[in-house]
């Protein structure tokens, strides 16, 4: 069985809930990854913050109520809102209920969980310790990578 | 988990040439070698520790395409990464080994400048990593923009959690460490012959300076000098050890000190008696210099070479 532990992306750079949004975005950008794990003071995994959640939060509430936002000719309306949040802690953006995988889960289960939750990436956690990530690309590599069995 | 810290890592470009000449265009032949490898002291230690079967996390500063290359290669070998990515790219260190003339030419680039904010975030991230570590190995130089006191912060944070720290760096950065008392102080004497403001080369001076360092660092247990491979000197408060390899055949000194350190850490965690830990570490160093590569490819040779290490104890 193809297990998560054999395919996960073992980078465990993390933030805590007082980290600024600016830093979280910087990590996602420079690490070329869609999410960052949040770890509490005792070293336990506490959730994650994803690029999608940041984008969702950057849209002002009054625009969210309009189904089609294509009328917005300028992206500035979104970025202006985001700019104001950059030096705030990420506390309210943390998804504490983000589904996670265990290292012994099968990659088939990982594919299913990613798909059901409409995610591009999921954290791997074991007994409260954050171990890495599984992304949709890792799912595809199960098929394409003949060396791993 | 063993946590290794490399504040100024590198990509090592290693060229093994039949003959190296200045003012000449070299087109590599099939009998020559060109390698691109993850590098920097803490990274080298991590690679050997992993090969010996230990779980390892590596951290430090990295950046750009060479930073991604470095991290990808480490993860491919099963090492967990947690580098802080910064703007700018990780440096490339070039080594040219000339087989005919038996010379090694090394050009180590200086690292990019690190911003203060990144140092702060590095220490935050380091504190979180400590929850998973049973030992910390800090090895190598400091990039520009990072002060010596980052070492002190790392040692203090580890001590609060009762985690042992080994520091392997050049004498330039050791003065700032005094009174911080890490578990082991292992000066990198490759380009230096002075330590604590006094000449430091040869067995007698290594022992004297080592004792002086121990007097100032009450919790430090070992001071190690491996620079002279024919006489590796390990200084303790009660006694000193001199370890000598027999029939040494040096092929490539690159990575020697890092292999020694990895051997020490590995043996220490297997619970061997002190003398066996020191012999294993010396054997790892010996095995490294007798192979062409900068790291040990066949770790079983370390056990085979142990009997070639002779020990003298000085009271």
- Beta-carbon contacts of residue B209 (< 8 Å; ≥ 6 apart): B195, B196, B198, B200, B223
Give the residue extent of every domain in chain A: 4-144
- Would you state the structure tokens that stand for residue B75, as one six-digit string? 């993860």
Residue B245: exposure state from Cβ atoms within 10 A (0-12, 13-18, ≥19): buried
In DSSP terms, B58 is beta-bridged to: B4, B81
pLDDT in tens, A27-78: 999 999 999 999 998 889 999 999 988 888 877 666 666 656 565 555 666 6
User: What's the ipTM?
Assistant: 0.87
pLDDT in tens, chain B (315 residues): 999 999 999 999 999 999 999 999 999 999 999 999 999 999 999 999 999 999 999 999 999 999 999 999 999 999 999 999 999 899 999 999 999 998 889 998 887 899 999 999 999 999 999 999 999 999 998 999 999 899 999 999 999 999 999 999 988 888 778 778 999 999 998 888 888 888 888 899 999 999 999 999 989 999 999 988 889 999 999 999 999 999 889 888 888 999 999 999 999 999 999 999 999 999 999 999 998 887 888 999 999 999 999 999 998
pLDDT band at A149 (very low <50, low <70, confident <90, very high): very low
B-chain residues near A19 (CB < 8 A): 121, 124
For residue B11, CA distances in Å to B6, B47, B67, B85, B292 come to 12, 13, 8, 15, 18
Distance from CA of A60 to the nearest CA of B (A): 29
- The tally of domains found in chain B comes to 1
Q: What CATH code is carried by the domain that includes residue B280?
A: 3.40.1190.20
The 10s digit of each residue's pLDDT in B8-36 is 999 999 999 999 999 999 999 999 999 99
Q: Do A43 and B75 touch (CB under 8 A)?
A: no
| Mutation for A interface: B85, B89, B115, most A CBs within 10 A | B85
Of B84, B130, B131, the CB nearest to A13: B84
SS3 track for chain B: CEEEEECCCEEEEEEEECCCCCCCCCCCCCCCEEEEEEECHHHHHHHHHHHCCCCEEEEEEECHHHHHHHHHHHHHCCCEEEEEECCCCCEEEEEEEECCCCEEEEEECCCCCCCHHHHHHHHHHHHHHHCCCCEEEEECCCCCCCCCHHHHHHHHHHHHCCCEEEEEECHHHHHHHCCCCCCEEEECCCCCCEECCEECCCHHHHHHHHHHHHHHCCCCCEEEECCCCCCEEEECCCCEEEEEECCCCCCCCCCHHHHHHHHHHHHHHCCCCHHHHHHHHHHHHHHHHCCCCCCCCCCHHHHHHHHHEEEEEEC
User: Do the chains contact at B80 and A27, CB–CB below 8 Å?
Assistant: no
Which CATH superfamily does the domain covering A4-144 fall into? CBS-domain (3.10.580.10)
Whole-number pLDDT of residue A74:
58
Distance from CA of B193 to the nearest CA of A (A): 38
| Pair type for strands B103-108 and B10-17 | unpaired
The reported pLDDT for the residue numbered A83 is: 85
Mean pLDDT of chain A: 86
Q: Is the pLDDT of residue A113 over 70?
A: yes
- What is the domain extent for residue B34? 2-314
Judge whether B131 and B147 are in contact, CB under 8 Å: no
Q: What is the pLDDT of residue A57?
A: 80
Which residues does A contribute to its contact with B (CB < 8 Å)? 9-16, 19, 23, 27, 30-32, 39, 42-43, 129, 131-132
For A30, the closest chain B residue by CA position comes to: B85
């Amino acid at each position: 069985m193809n297990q998560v532990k054999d395919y996960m992306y073992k980078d465990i750079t993390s933030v805590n809930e007082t980290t600024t949004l600016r830093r979280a975005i910087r990590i996602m950008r420079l690490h070329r990854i869609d999410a960052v794990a949040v770890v509490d003071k005792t070293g336990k995994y506490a959730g994650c913050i994803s690029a999608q959640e940041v984008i969702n939060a950057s849209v002002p509430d009054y625009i969210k109520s309009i189904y089609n936002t294509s009328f917005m000719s300028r992206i500035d309306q979104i970025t202006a809102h985001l700019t104001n949040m950059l030096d705030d802690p990420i506390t309210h953006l943390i998804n504490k209920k983000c589904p996670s995988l265990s290292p012994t889960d099968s990659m088939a289960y990982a594919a299913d969980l990613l798909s059901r939750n409409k995610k591009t990436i999921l954290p791997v956690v074991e007994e409260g310790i954050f171990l890495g990530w599984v992304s949709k690309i890792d799912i595809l590599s199960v098929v394409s990578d003949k060396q791993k069995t | 988990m063993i946590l290794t810290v490399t504040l100024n890592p590198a990509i090592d470009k290693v060229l093994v040439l039949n003959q190296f000449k200045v003012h000449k265009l070299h087109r590599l032949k099939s009998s020559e070698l060109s390698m691109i490898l993850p590098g920097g002291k803490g990274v080298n230690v991590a690679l050997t520790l992993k090969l010996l079967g230990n779980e390892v996390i590596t951290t430090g500063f990295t950046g750009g395409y060479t930073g991604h290359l470095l991290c990808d290669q480490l993860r491919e070998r099963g090492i967990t990464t947690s580098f802080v990515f910064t703007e700018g790219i990780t440096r490339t260190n070039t080594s040219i080994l000339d087989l005919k003339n038996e010379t090694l030419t090394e050009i180590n680039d200086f690292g990019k400048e690190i911003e203060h904010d990144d140092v702060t975030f590095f220490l935050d991230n380091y504190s979180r990593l400590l929850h998973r570590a049973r030992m910390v190995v800090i090895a190598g130089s400091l990039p520009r923009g990072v002060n010596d006191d980052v070492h002190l912060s790392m040692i203090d944070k580890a001590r609060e959690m009762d985690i042992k720290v080994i520091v392997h760096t050049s004498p330039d950065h050791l003065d700032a460490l005094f009174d911080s008392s890490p578990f082991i102080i292992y000066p990198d004497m490759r380009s230096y012959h002075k330590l604590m403001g006094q000449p430091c080369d040869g067995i007698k001076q290594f022992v004297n300076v080592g004792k002086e360092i121990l007097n100032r660092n009450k919790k430090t247990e070992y001071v190690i000098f491996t620079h002279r491979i024919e006489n590796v000197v390990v200084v303790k408060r009660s006694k000193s050890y001199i370890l000598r390899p027999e029939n040494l055949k040096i092929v490539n000194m690159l990575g020697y000190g890092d292999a020694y350190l990895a051997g020490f850490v590995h043996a220490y965690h297997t619970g061997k008696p002190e003398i066996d830990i020191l012999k294993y570490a010396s054997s790892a160093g010996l095995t490294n210099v007798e192979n062409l590569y900068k790291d040990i490819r066949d770790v079983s040779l370390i056990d085979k070479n142990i009997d070639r290490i002779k020990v003298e104890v000085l009271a």
